[in-house]
Amino acid sequence: MPIKWTVLAVAAAMYALIVAFPEKKSFSALGAALAVLLLGAVSPFAVLTELVNWTVVMIFVGSLVIAELFIYSRVPARIADAIVLRSPNSGIAIIAILMMTGVISAFVENVATVLVMAPIALALCKKLKIDPTYFMVGLAVMANLQGTATLIGDPPSMIFASTAGYGFNEFFFYQGKPSIFWAVQIGMLAGTLFFYAYFARKGGGKVQVDREPMLSAVPTALLVLMIAGLAATSFVYGGISLASGLLVVALAAAGILWYRFIRHESGAKVVELVKGLDWDTVLFLIGIFVVVGGIAETGLLTDFSRVLSRIVGANVFLGFFLIVAISTLLSGFIDNVPYIVVMLPVASHLADMSGLKPELYMFALLIGSCMGGNLTPFGASANVAAVGILRKQGYRTDFVQWLKIGLPFTLLTTASSSAFVWLVWR
């Protein structure tokens, strides 16, 4: 049997295991990567030097550290309290908190964003004496939505940047046109209008809260420096580069030193902070890079592009619609990281074969695969975190309950963002 079919069988088994045992996804990916290595589809040298994108790994780990310190500083909670106090009624306060969740999630990992905003949401619901279920679902879907907007918002965005040669700045404007950031903002506007229709009628009087004390502005400064530094390196090097990864890691290291020696937190606390990072996703990413590298080396991606090209033919809209629709549906049920790693080069190749700008299909893929995770309670890690928090509070969230928010929100945001991409990039 040709090696490419063996590699395809390994990749299919990996996907099946990820779907069946999502909590063990790193083991599935690393096991598949080892199998691809043993089959000889890729070499150990290629793994270390070409296939694993260490820059993406560095940016992801470094941004996780800075996000943890940002949460520790209590600055987000302080801002949220100020928003609630300035809101004319409780309904507007809820909508403002959801919008703030989206803004933070554009620069902080989605699960971390949900974790920092959840106590605020729960406290507000307790004061209002309302069920927090749909508010928490709102936090998760808004975090997932805006995680697509910037280079540091979510792993799929980092992977897209690496594949497309984008830097931090190109997420805002590329070749003189508004880029993916603005497509996501159109989606956020549609999502906000949906939440306004849902929550505004619930709003009673003005809500009073006790303002959270801020511990330090240093983590906020580190976050701002990370954003400015990524923008600068993007301008200098014309995309995501080793300098970008080293910058983020250096800022993260400075944050840990500040945490230990300026804040005088114990060594055990430092170890706890580092151990608590999302190492499962880091290992998962490494494994996926190797497996997809094996798929590409054997020519399977090219074969898949040709099959799609024959299906789509000259109908560009059909290709665009299929990419968005299939990506949205699949991402509601499977992890979007391996999906997007496989499909980005396919989308780019398909666009090239049709004489199109690659952004048209690549943006469609990014929107569908990231926003589609909002469909189900297990479609994204932030969703799982929100459901877990609700369970600890004594609230059970079933599939149908989630769909009441997740389905209309996903359809509205995906359709509006996709329409923007089609009009601007066609």
pLDDT tens digit at each of 426 positions of the chain: 578 889 989 999 998 888 788 778 899 999 999 999 999 999 999 999 888 989 989 998 998 899 889 889 988 878 877 887 888 887 888 888 899 899 988 888 788 788 878 888 887 887 777 788 888 999 999 999 998 899 988 888 998 998 888 999 999 999 999 999 999 999 999 999 998 888 876 556 666 666 778 899 999 999 999 999 999 988 888 778 889 999 999 999 999 999 999 999 999 999 999 998 889 888 988 998 899 888 888 888 778 778 888 888 778 899 999 999 989 988 887 778 888 888 888 888 888 888 888 999 999 999 999 999 899 887 887 888 888 888 888 888 888 888 888 999 999 999 999 999 999 998
> Global pTM?
0.84
Give pLDDT, residue 325. 93
Q: How many structural domains does the chain have?
A: 1
180, 186 in Cβ contact below 8 A? no
* Cβ–Cβ < 8 Å for 11, 32: yes
pLDDT of residue 359: 93
Q: What integer pLDDT is reported at residue 82 of this predicted model?
A: 82
Written as six digits, the tokens of 307 are: 């099959």
Is 175 in a helix, a strand, or coil? coil
Q: Which amino acid is at 227?
A: I
**Cα dist. 321→261, 311, 355, 364 in Å?**
53, 13, 17, 8
Structural domain boundaries, residue 333: 3-425
Residue 116 pLDDT = 78
pLDDT the model gives residue 38: 93
Integer Cα distance of 368 and 410 in angstroms: 9
Q: Maximum CA pair distance of the chain? A: 70
pLDDT at 131: 84
In sequence order, what DSSP letters do the residues of 73-120 get, joined into one string?
A: TTHHHHHHHHHHHHSSSHHHHHHHHHHHHHHHHTTS-HHHHHHHHHHH
Give the model's pLDDT for residue 416: 97
Note the pLDDT of residue 210. 67
* Per-residue pLDDT, 207: 67
